[in-house]
Chains A and B, each alone.
Chain A
Amino acid sequence: DIQMTQSPSSLSASVGDRVTITCRASQGISNYLAWYQQKPGKVPKLLIYAASTLQSGVPSRFSGSGSGTDFTLTISSLQPEDVATYYCQKYNSALLTFGGGTKVEIK
C-alpha cells in the first residue's frame, strides 16, 4: 500500500506569512493528489485536486504543486480564517489514502 507522509505535523506562523506544507508518497502517484482543509469542529473541505487545480470558490492564496512522489500546498499570505488542519489524499486507485495532517496555527 502507498503511504502518504506530511510534514510538518504542525506549524505556527504570523498573519501574512507564506506557509508551505509537504506531502510525500511512498510510490509515484503522478498528479493524483488532493488537499483538504478541516477547520476545528467542521467537515473537511476539498481545496485542490490534480495536485494543482483549485476547487471552485477556494481563495487564490492557496496553491498546490508537485508530481510523482513530492507535493506541496502553499498559502501565500496566511489569514486568520486559515487556521485548520490540512490533509493530503492520494487517489491513483480506489484506495484513497490520507496523509497524517498538518495543523496550522497563528503565532
Chain B
Amino acid sequence: EVQLVQSGAEVKKPGESLKISCKGSGYSFTSYWIGWVRQMPGKGLEWMGIIYPGDSDTRYSPSFQGQVTISADKSISTAYLQWSSLKASDTAMYYCARASSVGYDGVPNDYWGQGTLVTVSS
C-alpha cells in the first residue's frame, strides 16, 4: 500500500527555522517525483515545487523560489520542506503528494500525505 506519512504539527516563532518531512512507503521512492502543496487557512491549494528523490532534481514554483528549500534523503525514503526564517504568513497546512507516473514531473498527484500544520506566531 502506497503511503506518505508527514511529520507532526509545528508551532514556531517568526524568524525561526523549520524542516518538515514526508516519508514514502509501499512503492519505489526514488522513481516518483514528490511535490509540496500549501493551503493557507480557509484558502485554496498552491503548488510549491517538486523533487525527484532519485537524483534530487528539484523544480520550484516562481512564487516559492528562494522562500523554501525542497530536499530528499533517498536512503530513508523521505522528502523535506524547509524554511530558514519563518514568517507569520507561512502559517498553513502543507501537503506532500506523489506524481502519478514513474519518472514524470508534469503529471497529477495520486497519493497525498495527511498534511502538516505549521503555525508561526509570536
Contacts and interface: CB of A to CB of B under 8 A. Distances in A.
Nearest to A34: B108
Interface in B23-74: 35, 37, 44-47, 50, 59, 61-62
A89 to B, nearest CB: 6
A31 to B, nearest CB: 12
B95 A44 contact: yes
A59 B101 CA distance: 22
A27 interface: no
In this complex, the interface size class of chain A, counting residues with CB under 8 Å from chain B, is 20 to 34
A37 to B, nearest CB: 12
Contact of A98 (B47, B100, B110, B114): B47
B110 A94 contact: no
B109 interface: yes
B112 interface: yes
B117 to A, nearest CB: 11
A13 interface: no
A71 interface: no
Looking at chain A's contact residues, is the secondary structure mostly helix, strand, loop, or mixed?
loop
Interface in A69-107: 85, 87, 89, 91-101
A89 B108 contact: yes
A55 B95 contact: no
B44 A87 contact: yes
Given A34-B108, A43-B114, A95 B59 contact: yes
A70 B4 CA distance: 33
A38 interface: yes
A54 interface: no
Contact of A44 (B45, B100, B105, B106): B45
Given A94-B106, A98-B45, 14 more contacts: A38-B45, A43-B112, A43-B114, A43-B115, A45-B112, A87-B44, A91-B107, A95-B62, A96-B106, A97-B47, A98-B37, A98-B47, A101-B44, A101-B45
Interface of A: 1, 32, 34, 36, 38, 43-46, 49, 55, 85, 87, 89, 91-101
7 contacts: A1-B62, A89-B45, A89-B47, A91-B106, A95-B59, A96-B109, A98-B46
